[in-house]
Amino acid sequence: MANPKAPRGLAPVRAFLAILAAAALLFGCSSDAPIPEKLADKGKGFLVSGRDRLFIAEFSDFPDLAPARRIREWDARGAWVVRELRTTARRSQEKAIAVARQAGAVYRSEWIANVLVLAGEKDLGPQVTELPGVERVWEEPFPDFSATTLVGSPRPDGVPLALSRLGVQEAWRNRITGKGVQVGIVDTGVYVRHPALLSSYRGYRGPRTPLVHDRNWFSPIRRSADAPVDTAGHGTHIAGSVVGSNRLPGGAVVGVAPEAQWIAAQACTATACPLAGVLPGLQFMLAPTDRFRGDPDPSLRPEIVVNSWQRDGRDVALERAIAALEAAGVLPVFAVGNLGPRCGTARSPGTDPDQVLSVGAVGGDGRITRYSGRGPGPGNFPEPDVVAPGDEIVSSVPRSGYARTDGTSSSAALAAGVAALAIDANPALRGDPGALVDVLRAGTRPNGDGGCGTTAGGRRDNTFGYGELQVGKVVAAARALGRAR
C-alpha cells in the first residue's frame, strides 16, 4: 500500500477481527452464541467475541496447472483451471470441514490455494492439524502496515507529470486507450461513484440504469457486500491511476488506460492486507461470483490484477493463488514495496518471476526513490521487473476528491495501466502473461546500475529492473510481437 512500513509484528488475529469492521468477518460474526449446526453446514454463522480464533489450514495437495497453458481459448482455459482447483480442494478438505461442522465453527474454503479458513475455539486448530493431508495450521498473523497517507490535491490540470513521463499522450492519439481490457483491483475497495471511475466500472450500464455488482465487486465483509465501497481511500487512488478518465472537466486526466474497465475485491483494511482477505479477493478475480460467493464464472476474469500491497516473507498459499492466476492467463502486477534503500528489500511475491510483473518507483527526475524496494527479492529472485513514477501521484479518492501520494503502490498501478495499453495494441497478448511481461520489459528506458547487482547478462538491475516504462516503446514491442507471430 502507499508508503507502508514493513509488516513487522505478528499479533493474534483477534486484532484483525476487531479492525475488519466491527467483528464482521467471513460470512458474518457477532457476540452471539456459537453457530447452530444447520448454519455451520453452509459455512455461515457467528463468532464468540474474545473467545474464537481464526485459523488457516493449508493442505499439501495442489494440482499441476501447467497443462492450462496449452489451452488457447479463454473460457475453456479458465474453466479447466477452476475445475482442477475445486476438485483438489473438495477432496483434501472433506475431513477438516467435518471437524469444523462438529465444532460449530465458521469455515470458508479458499480453493484457489487449497486452504481452509476456520474460526472457532482454540482447540480447533490442533484438531485440524492432526488430519491426514494437512500441511500446516496457523493463526492468521496481523502484518503491521502503516496507514495510507493521502494529501488532498486539486483536480489535475491537464496531463499530470507522471503520465507525461510515461508518454501516454502518443498512445491516446493513436486510439490506444485500454479499450476492451479488464483490470482487477485487490485493495481496500473502490468508491464506485467517483466521476473519474464510474463509467469505467464493468457494472456500469448507463446514467439511468442501476449498477450491476454481481461478478464485478466482492467484499468478505457483510456490510460492504452490496456495492463497491472504499474503507481507506487507497484502492480508489489505485483504480484512478490505472483506469481513471481522461475526459474530466477542464481537460483533467487521471489514469493511464481510461477506456479499460475495472472490477474490484476488498481485501485490505487501512492498515493491513491479511491472508484471510487477500485469498478470497484473488479467488474472486479468478472466477468472479455474485455478492454471496455463488456461481463462479471464470470467463469473466480480468486480464490484469493489480496488487499494491506486500506481505513479509514467503506465503505458500499466496504463491499458489498467483500460480493459479498465471495458469488461467491473468497477469498479476505487484508493487515491490517501500522498504528501500537497502538491497534485498523488494517484497513482490510469486514463484515464477517471468509470470509476475514487479514494479519499483522513480521520481520525476528518473532517479530511483529512496523508499523503492531493491532486489533481490524473496527466494533470491531478481526484482523489480520495471520502474514507473511513484512520487507526487495525483489520483481519485472517495466521493469526488483527489489526493497525491508517494509509493510503489502508485507505480504498480501505472504499470498495470501500461499493460492494458499493450493488450489494446496487440490483443494476442490477452491470456499470455509471460509474453506481456516480456513486452513490458522491452518497453523500457535503461536507468543504469543501482548498486544491488544485475542479472540477465547485465541487462536487468536489482534497483531499476530493465528500466523505466515508456508507453511508446511498449506499444512498439507489442506490435512487433504480433508481426513476429
Largest interatomic CA distance in the chain:
64
The Cα–Cα gap between 321 and 307 comes to 13
The pLDDT assigned to 392 comes to: 93
Sorted by sequence, the CB contacts under 8 Å of residue 463 that are 6+ apart come out as 360, 368, 372, 374, 375, 447, 449, 450, 451, 452
The cell for 33 is 452464541
Q: What secondary structure does DSSP assign to 422-472, as a single string? A: HHHH-GGGTT-HHHHHHHHHHTEE-----SS-EEGGGTEETTTBT-EE-HH
The pLDDT assigned to 313 comes to: 67
Handedness of CA 266, 269, 273, 279 (dihedral sign): negative
| Residue 40: count of CB within 10 angstroms of its CB | 21
The cell for 151 is 494529501
Q: Let me know: does 383 contact 390? Beta carbons within 8 Å.
A: no
The Cα–Cα gap between 442 and 464 comes to 13
The cell for 369 is 526513490
Class of domain 151-484: alpha beta
In one letter, which amino acid is 372? S
The Cα–Cα gap between 422 and 430 comes to 9
In one letter, which amino acid is 432? D
Closest CA to 376 of 450, 272, 445: 450
Put the strands of the sheet holding 53-59 in their side by side order: 106-110, 115-120, 53-59, 134-139
Q: Let me know: does 181 contact 427? Beta carbons within 8 Å.
A: no
The pLDDT assigned to 149 comes to: 57
| Residue 51: count of CB within 10 angstroms of its CB | 12
The kind and range of the H/E element at 266 are strand 261-266
Q: What secondary structure does DSSP assign to 327-393, as a single string? A: HTT-EEEEE--S-TTSTT------S-TTSSEEEEEE-TTSPBPSSS--S--GGG----SEEEE-SSE
The pLDDT assigned to 352 comes to: 59
So where are the chain's domains? 13-139, 151-484
* 197 CA to centre of own chain: 18
The pLDDT assigned to 457 comes to: 73
What averages of pLDDT result for each successive group of 10 residues across the chain (485 residues)? 34 33 31 29 37 87 97 97 98 96 91 94 92 92 45 79 96 97 96 96 96 94 83 93 89 92 92 86 96 92 94 83 96 93 83 78 95 86 92 92 93 98 97 96 89 82 94 97 65
The Cα–Cα gap between 395 and 243 comes to 10
Q: Let me know: does 215 contact 301? Beta carbons within 8 Å.
A: no
Handedness of CA 268, 273, 274, 278 (dihedral sign): positive
